[in-house]
Amino acid sequence: MSAAQIKTIWSISSGLNLTKDDIYALLNRETKKDSMRSCTNAELNKVIKSLIALKGHAASAGMITDEQYYYVKKLEKRLGWDDNPKRLEAFLSKYYKVNKINWLSTKDASNLIESLKNIIKRNSDKEKAACK
């Protein structure tokens, strides 16, 4: 564990506007640990590389817009997933390889919106078929 690496993690994170929870979620995803102090130098480097990739991703593709974010939240509510945030997080992790909505690019956010709309449509079609 290196204090310099931990400072680097916090520095990069602040530039990405990540919350403390976001940082620890990323730490857990990359190292399966809940504390930076319990990580090896190699594990902290893995977290730093992941943050740099997020930073590059944010700079090159643009991050999710506020409008996209609120639309995703609206769709999440229509699906009935708003009572359990882990559901959307699991969906994001499986299909978009991120744990938080804020980590999506505008393109991925657009794809997510279309995916959620398709799920809603399929659920609606199933309900209509069941009523016949």
Question: pLDDT by residue (tens digit) across 6-49?
Answer: 888 888 887 777 788 888 888 888 889 888 898 888 888 888 88
The CA distance from 7 to 117, in Å, is: 41
What's the whole-number average pLDDT of the chain? 84
**72 shares a domain with 111:** yes
Token couple for 103: 């980590």
Same domain, 127 and 72: yes
E-strand spans in 1-132? none
| Cα 109 from Cα 70, distance rounded (Å) | 11
The last residue of a domain, from among 61, 76, 95: 61
The band of 104, judged by pLDDT with boundaries at 50, 70 and 90, is confident
Do 106 and 68 contact (CB within 8 A), yes or no? yes
Same structural domain, 73 and 35? no
| Contact between residue 16 and residue 55 where contact means Cβ atoms under 8 Å apart | yes
Kindly state whether residues 75 and 50 are assigned to the same domain. no
How many domains are contained in the chain? 2
- pLDDT, tens digit, for every residue of 69-79? 889 999 999 99
pLDDT for the residue 1: 61
95 shares a domain with 48:
no
Q: Are residues 89 and 109 in the same domain?
A: yes
Q: What range does the domain containing 82 cover?
A: 66-131
